[in-house]
Amino acid sequence: MSHLLQSTFIPTTPTTLRRRSVFPTTHLRKTHVVESKIREIFMPALSSTMTEGKIISWMKTEGDKLAKGESVVVVESDKADMDVESFYDGFLASIIVPEGSSAPVGSPIALLAESEDEISLAKSKTPTPTSTSSPAATASVTEEVSTVAAAVTVTSSSDAGPVKMASSIHPASEGGKRVVASPYAKKLAKELGLDLRGVVGSGPNGRIVAKDVEAAAGSAPIGVAAAAKPSGGAPAAPAVELGTTVPFTTMQNAVSRNMVESLAVPTFRVGYTITTNALDALYKKVKSKGVTMTALLAKATALALVKHPVVNSSCRDGKSFTYNSSINIAVAVAIDGGLITPVLQDADKVDLYSLSRKWKELVDKARAKQLQPHEYTTGTFTLSNLGMFGVDRFDAILPPGTGAIMAVGASQPTLVGTKDGQIGMKNQMQVNVTADHRVIYGADLAAFLQTLAQIIEDPKDLTL
């Protein structure tokens, strides 16, 4: 949530018109001085790591009337798209930063006039796009206008109760002027040749998300829908133009910063082989009830962390470490244009079925870029599962501010020797844990992995 800047209103009436008259006051008509109120809407800090934001779409156009608490613009932070609201009634007088452009946190992105008559005055004070990046230019604008903060809200997908209408105008299109959709939905629609103006969105405030595009394209999965697009006999065009240089997205910039920051942490890795026959059998029993393998692994990991709190600890200042009071399992999810780690909070205390429902909700919100900051920044231990893609082993990079991350490989039939000297077939998976060696030592990880293996190989406690 952005915070409210304290500021004063600057009168626009020239000072020469307000000097004391030399004539007796008895000969003067009583007058009222009207002061114009022009405020800035600035780029809010939507997360602790955000340094700049990208304008995804303006939900209002210049000249539109705004009510206090009404959403004005959708901003892309390093991990999510969020609505920016106005704290004041007024008119959107001038848009400083257009759609698709970025601006530093705290810089003005639009001007808000108190009355319709002051719109032209606000336009005259609008800096040019190049001046928004100049500190001097920004300072001169700030002298003439007062600043208003923007409230930041993220509406859960479960809060939005879309009404399916047959209208060709989308409810978030402001009367057909503009369609509000997530970046991935726009990209997907472009690939499928779909006109978003005819799509009804199910996201917050009627915003179109990827699943709406898929449904409009015939309820086919993304890959199938793209492949089914008629090509007229011509080969499909490549998704990217080879040989071009593409700048990082806001999310990719955030991932890049985090990965570079992680290089400063002394890490080490420990691997372990776990037999999964019992876990596979349990999964087959509970899959029909909506339980996912991700939830099973998260639950097993959380129960193991209860017995090994040092593996759930974190070091942030290089001088001390914290035994975290909650076990919050972050799970890496690949989304369009980047990577995000939705968090299953208190995974050791939440039952398996609720954990699975929560995971599905988090994934849907992540793909719609609607996660709230606390849903992806509060992890204490991270899982990265490439086993679902058939990868048998890999190493993961430690996220800054956490103590360990576990890379989970695929469970595969393996020939193993039994204790009685016989050869048998068992399903086994490889897990590799990367840990902060300032806090966690080899013996700590070995003990943790032994406990995890015991839970997975005898998973009766997972359903309690």
Q: Is 171 exposed, middle or buried (0-12, 13-18, 19+ CB in 10 A)?
A: middle
Which is more confident, 100 or 225? Answer: 100
> Is 27 designated active site?
no
pLDDT at residue 93 is higher than 50: yes
Alpha-carbon separation of residue 176 from 42, 168, 195 (angstroms): 26, 9, 12
d(CA 213, CA 421): 57
Closest CA to 54 of 17, 103, 16: 103
Alpha carbon of residue 415 to chain centroid: 43
Residue 60 CB contacts under 8 Å (≥ 6 apart), including other chains? 66, 70, 72, 73, 92, 174
Which is more confident, 21 or 36? Answer: 36
The model's pLDDT over 289-299, given as tens digits with 9 standing for 90+, comes to 999 999 999 99
Q: Give the per-residue pLDDT at 5.
A: 35
Alpha-carbon separation of residue 424 from 273, 308, 414 (angstroms): 16, 32, 8
d(CA 343, CA 275): 26
Among the residue ranges 100-104, 171-175, 450-454, the one predicted with the least confidence is 171-175
pLDDT at residue 46 is higher than 90: no
- Per DSSP bridges, beta strands 71-76 and 52-58 are antiparallel
3-state secondary structure (DSSP) of residue 366: helix
d(CA 430, CA 409): 5
pLDDT band at 145 (very low <50, low <70, confident <90, very high): very low
Residue 369 CB contacts under 8 Å (≥ 6 apart), including other chains? 76, 79, 80, 81, 182, 183, 184, 335
The model's pLDDT over 375-433, given as tens digits with 9 standing for 90+, comes to 998 999 999 999 989 999 999 999 988 999 999 999 999 998 877 888 889 999 999 99
Q: Give the per-residue pLDDT at 223.
A: 40
pLDDT at residue 53 is higher than 60: yes
Closest CA to 336 of 150, 190, 152: 190
Backbone angles phi, psi at 160, to 5 degrees: -85, 120
pLDDT at residue 246 is higher than 50: yes
Alpha-carbon separation of residue 234 from 224, 231, 313 (angstroms): 18, 5, 56
pLDDT at residue 228 is higher than 80: no
**Averaging pLDDT over each range in 56-70, 131-145, 204-218, 311-325, which range is the top one?**
311-325
Instruction: List the catalytic residue out of 27, 32, 308, 437.
Output: 437
Q: Give the per-residue pLDDT at 183.
A: 62
Mean predicted confidence (pLDDT) in 34-43: 71
pLDDT band at 79 (very low <50, low <70, confident <90, very high): low
DSSP 264-284: TS-EEEEEEEEE-HHHHHHHH
Long-range CB contacts (< 8 A, 24+ apart) of 250-254?
250/52, 250/53, 250/54, 250/76, 250/77, 250/78, 250/102, 251/76, 251/78, 251/79, 251/337, 251/338, 251/339, 251/340, 252/337, 252/338, 253/78, 254/49, 254/50, 254/78, 254/79, 254/338
3-state secondary structure (DSSP) of residue 83: strand
Mean pLDDT of the chain: 77
Q: Give the per-residue pLDDT at 292.
A: 93
pLDDT at residue 7 is higher than 70: no
* Token representation of residue 218: 């015939």
Which is more confident, 178 or 101? Answer: 101
d(CA 79, CA 246): 19
| Residue linked to tokens 């955000």 | 50
Q: Which residues of 33-67 are buried (b: 16+ CB within 10 A; e: fewer)?
A: eeebbbbbbbbbbbbebbbbbbbbbbbbebeeebe
* Token representation of residue 77: 């932070």
Closest CA to 393 of 426, 427, 429: 429
pLDDT at residue 34 is higher than 70: no
Angle at 120 between CA 115 and CA 126, to 5 degrees: 110
